[in-house]
Amino acid sequence: MNLPHVVSRAEWLAAREELLKKEKEATRARDALNAERRMLPMVRIEKDYAFEGPDGEASLLDLFEGRRQLIVGHFMFDPDWDDGCPSCSAGADEISAGLLDHLNARETTLVQVSRAPIAKIEAYKAKKGWTFPWYSSFGSDFNYDFDVTIDESVAPAVYNYRTKAEHERAGTGYYFDAEQPIEQPGSSYFLRDGDDVFHTYSTFGRGAEMTGGSYYFLDLTALGRQEEWEEPKGRASDAHGATPDFSE
């Protein structure tokens, strides 16, 4: 196995201090990026989306639960499936009561939304022992309008702000290599001003890593995520694929 070099404490400290300089640069760059993200313009939601939760029908405004901000996790769960996506499930496993409490304290509500009917969602949620809010968008345009369900019979194929043709030219056409409709992961962010709701941000693909704790914990370790694409090679005795379901 290709492990780190063994050096003296003094040599390690010198290397660590050099890395710290780069880490501080990355932190400042992240702060600047976060500020730029907050300065994005926003789009008023004009459509009346209908969701269904355990207590019945709900509007997008209802999902805020009276708070100023709403985070929607686009949980991949096709209406024909019996279980939700394994990778989305791995992320959902990390949604704790404490996390929800902390977000709520800062005027922010976190919910999951899927196209599966609410009966399937409730059954899977009970099976997994989850307690976070989870709504069905079954029968609405919500998933299509926010580009997480790909169905060219409904809307042009777009994911992560690229069309199908643009992805094929970029070598990422695999996003569309399945029978449609195709469920894709992502999260969308909304702001409420009175009863007016605005879309402020959405992120897809690896953007979800920002809110997935396990990967960022592993990034600080010597063995890393132990996935095939990582450098340096040979750190993992049994490298995993780049699928964040942690099932292997």
Please list the rounded mean pLDDT of every run of 10 residues in the chain (248 residues): 93 97 96 92 96 97 96 97 96 94 93 98 98 97 97 95 95 94 96 96 90 80 85 82 74
What letter represents residue 82's amino acid? D
DSSP state string for 145-196: HTT-EE-TTTS--EETTEEHHHHHHHT-GGGG-SSSSEE--EEEEEEEETTE
What confidence score (pLDDT) does residue 198 get?
A: 96
Q: Say what the pTM is.
A: 0.90
Which residues neighbour 10 within 8 Å (Cβ) at sequence distance 6 or greater? none
In this prediction, residue 208 carries a pLDDT of 84
Of the candidates 227, 245, 212, which has an alpha carbon nearest to the alpha carbon of residue 85? Answer: 245
pLDDT value for 31? 92
- Under DSSP, the state recorded for 114 is E
pLDDT at 25: 97
Closest by Cα among 149, 146, 132, 150 to 53: 132
Q: Can you give the pLDDT at residue 210?
A: 86
Distance, C-alpha 201 to centroid of its chain: 12
pLDDT of residue 189: 95
Furthest CA-CA distance within the chain: 64
What is the per-residue pLDDT for 248? 56
Distance CA 102, CA 124 (A): 25
